[in-house]
Amino acid sequence: MIPKPKQRKKFFNRRKFCRFCADKDFALDYKSPKMLGLFITERGKIIPQRITGNCALHQRALTTAVKRARALALIPFTETHA
Amino acid sequence: MREYESIYILKPDLPSDVLQTIQDKITEILKKQKGHVLHITDWGKRKLAYRIEKLTHGHYFYCLFLDEGTSISEIERILRNDDRVIKFLTVKLKDKVNAEDRLANPSTPPLPPEELTHSDGYDRYDRGPGRGRSGGDNFPGLEGDDGMGQMNS
């Protein structure tokens, strides 16, 4: 296979950061589905901290928040069972 | 004293006196055990994220109270045995709250949260084959690479 000329580097590194640490007003609350919606996928899965850049502490807190919100039917467990 | 919050979901379309009786029951239990209700807020009828008992909507109530922890089991027992209640959740917020101070400084009840809709930036991480991992631009709210950068460079 002929190597493509001038192939640009596909990815670049930008430092990810934990949004909960950076912004103290950005409160983590299981009662606000809008905020949790930023950290779950379309299918309702929790997005890994690898992607979001959350720190371990806040990712753990987020996990419990998402699970509580699911229990209260504020956010879905999955999309398919609706 | 500890501070707790309870959210319970009732069936929609219940007469308002039933809603009141359930509120009164909770208040009564707490009074007996020397707890205090800070506020009970009606969040109104909301769409459930998934069907519960074949219902698509529920009537949410939010209750904030102080208690020693002795009446939680009683409140939950009542909610569990009442078939008009479809879901409930109690969460401990704070340990060691000074009841007098807390009652002197009442907080404003939180507004009912907005419902989650599909346009709210659900991410597209697991959309299916061919998408997802390979596309670093699939995360509208989250800038940066997808964590796989070093492998391809």
Q: Which residues of B touch A34 (CB under 8 A)?
A: 113-114, 116, 120
Q: What is the pLDDT of residue B149?
A: 43
B144 touches chain A (CB under 8 A): yes
- Distance, in angstroms, between B44 CA and closest chain A CA? 13
Who's near B44: CB < 8 A, 6+ residues apart?
Answer: B59, B60, B112
Highest mean pLDDT among A43-57, B99-113, B114-128: A43-57
Whether residue B50 and residue A81 make contact (CB cut-off 8 A), yes or no, is: yes
- The first and second tokens of residue B111, run together, are 């507004």
Residue B120: closest CA among A12, A6, A36, A63: A36
Q: Residues of B with CB below 8 A from A68's CB? A: 89, 91
State the pLDDT at residue B87: 92
Binning pLDDT at 50, 70 and 90, where does residue A4 land? Answer: low
Q: Compare CB distances from A32 to B91, B113, B124 and report the shortest one's residue.
A: B113
Question: Which residue would you say has higher pLDDT here, B125 or A41?
Answer: A41
B12 or B130: which carries more pLDDT confidence?
A: B12
Of B89, B141, B149, the CB nearest to A72: B89
- Reported as a single tens digit per residue, the pLDDT across B28-78 is 988 888 888 888 888 889 888 888 888 999 999 999 989 888 889 999 999
Residue B38 region by backbone torsions, left for phi larger than 0, else alpha for psi between -120 and 50, else beta: alpha
Q: Tell me which residue in A33, A52, A53 faces B113 most closely, judged by beta carbons.
A: A33
Q: Identify the pLDDT of residue A6.
A: 64
User: What is the DSSP code string of B32-82?
Assistant: HTT-EEEEEEEEEEEEEEEEETTEEEEEEEEEEEEE-SSSHHHHHHHHHH-
State which residue of chain B sits closest to A53, comparing Cα positions. B142
| B52–chain A Cβ distance below 8 A for any pair | yes
Q: Mean pLDDT over residues A26-55, rounded?
A: 88
Predicted TM-score of the model (pTM): 0.73
